[in-house]
Amino acid sequence: MSKKARAAIGSLGTYINGRGFKPEDWGRVGLPIVRIANLNNPKAAYDFYDGPIDDGHKIDTGDTVVSWSATLDAFRWNRGPAALNQHSFKVVPNLSVIDPDYLYFVLKVAMKGMSELVHGATMKHVTRPEFEGFEIEIETERYLQKKIATGLKAQLAEVETALQAAQVQLKDSRLLRSRMLKAFFAELDAAPKKKLGDYAETTSGVTPSRDNDAYWQPAEIPWVKTGEVDFSPITAVKESISKKALLECSLSLLPPKSILIAITGEGKTRGRSAILEVPATTNQHCFAILPNDTWESSFLQLWLRASYQYLRELSSGRGGSRSALSGAQLKALDVPAPSKAEQQQIVVRIQAAMTEIDALENSSKAALEDINRLPNRVLAQAFDQ
């Protein structure tokens, strides 16, 4: 028979705070130092510690760790021996009153309940007395604790399987867009090609001096940065310059339907393109293609989007140099140049296909969001929260 009682978290185990490692302790060998970022993200980088350390500050596969700062949550560590940094507790279960697996789930639920006790504007945290004094209703019978924990592990394993499937589906929908674009433009292999720089006027921008307020106030003319070039039409920007800056800083006012290409960026930015829908200027890291008589802007931008990976490879750094596209490389591109009527037909076909893929991607995103909410629902149901 079920027997429930309220218990303070502090009575269910011993909580050993991690060690405060200093920069001079960090190295490239030894035990990985586990910070909250490493608990939240398995791909986060580690520093290492190769000095003496007591067992209380070590964790290993199977240990439960609680972050009492930044993100309030409990984690099951599964990446081998490591050193625990401060802002987290290593959990040593009180085996006389609670099953270790059950305690892990109790702590996950309890940490959600502690959200109202959070202190701090920059580094959010709960105090140790608040943590240990927090009460939650638990099952007191050990066989029922183990039964509940076993059931929760099975349910959450199914959720994880569903999550991975949804992530694959979302990734596939994005790959489908890239493959679709390449397939459409592969049909134009036999079409005449023209060098971009021979048939379209191009330019780039500049960053007016930040030390001259008169170049930035009043904010009169949109000024585009590479981070805003992300394949979507550009209708609004975060920063604008003054008319004075336009006159004095060798900037061109680009007309709508100009195409911008991000020429720098080590992440995903370099090689992205977008159509400008408002008159604007750019910084020096954007390459601009003005409207012209050879290519419809939508057609040319879709071709550049289909060529994104090629542009990335074309601009990869060599010999330690920073990766960047040059104006000369872009002007030398051989671009399919069918008639404008054919270009318009291709754009219509691609946009129709894009609409279907967008619907698939949005459906995948919605499913992923629902699945991400399931663990909290499963735990809340198990603990009648």
CATH class given for the domain over 4-140: alpha beta
* Residues 220-253: tens digit of each pLDDT: 999 999 999 999 999 999 999 999 999 999 899 9
Identify the CA nearest to 188 among candidates 309, 346, 295.
Answer: 346
Rounded to 5°, angle at Cα 213 from 212 and 217: 140
Backbone angles phi, psi at 159, to 5 degrees: -65, -40
Contacts of 223 (CB under 8 A, 6+ apart): 205, 237, 239, 240, 241, 280, 281, 282, 283
Q: What is the largest CA-CA distance in the chain?
A: 84
87: Cα separation from own chain's centroid: 24
Nearest to 284 by CA among 241, 327, 328, 244: 327
Name the amino acid, one letter, at 363. Answer: S
Question: Which pTM value belongs to this model?
Answer: 0.70
Superfamily of structural domain 192-337: DNA methylase specificity domains (3.90.220.20)
Q: Which of 77, 36, 73 is nearest to 58 (CA)?
A: 77
Query: Which residues, in sequence order, are bridge partners of residue 276?
Result: 234
Beta pairing, strands 193-195 & 47-49: unpaired
Q: How far apart are CA 173 and CA 366, in angstroms?
A: 13
pLDDT 10s digits, 163-186: 999 999 989 988 898 899 999 999
Residue 287 φ/ψ, nearest 5 degrees: -105, 130
Which DSSP symbol is given to 30? S
Q: Is 325 exposed, middle or buried (0-12, 13-18, 19+ CB in 10 A)?
A: buried
**Tokens 């992440």, located at residue:** 267
Domain ranges (residues) in the chain: 4-140, 192-337
Beta strands in 173-254 (DSSP E): 193-195, 202-204, 221-224, 239-241
DSSP annotation of 68: -
Alpha helices by DSSP H, listed for 187-205, are: 196-199
Closest CA to 227 of 242, 237, 235: 237
Query: Per-residue pLDDT for the chain (385 aa), expressed as one digit of tens each?
Result: 678 899 999 999 999 999 998 888 888 899 999 999 999 888 899 999 999 999 999 999 999 999 988 788 999 999 999 999 988 999 999 999 999 999 999 999 998 888 777 777 666 888 899 999 999 999 999 999 999 999 999 999 999 999 999 999 989 988 898 899 999 999 998 899 999 999 999 999 999 999 999 999 999 999 999 999 999 999 999 999 999 999 999 899 999 999 999 999 878 899 999 999 999 999 999 999 999 999 999 999 999 999 999 999 998 764 445 688 999 999 999 999 999 999 999 999 999 999 999 999 999 999 999 999 999 899 888 887 5
* Per-residue model confidence as pLDDT tens digits over 123-138: 688 889 999 999 999 9
* Angle CA 36–58–113, to nearest 5: 40
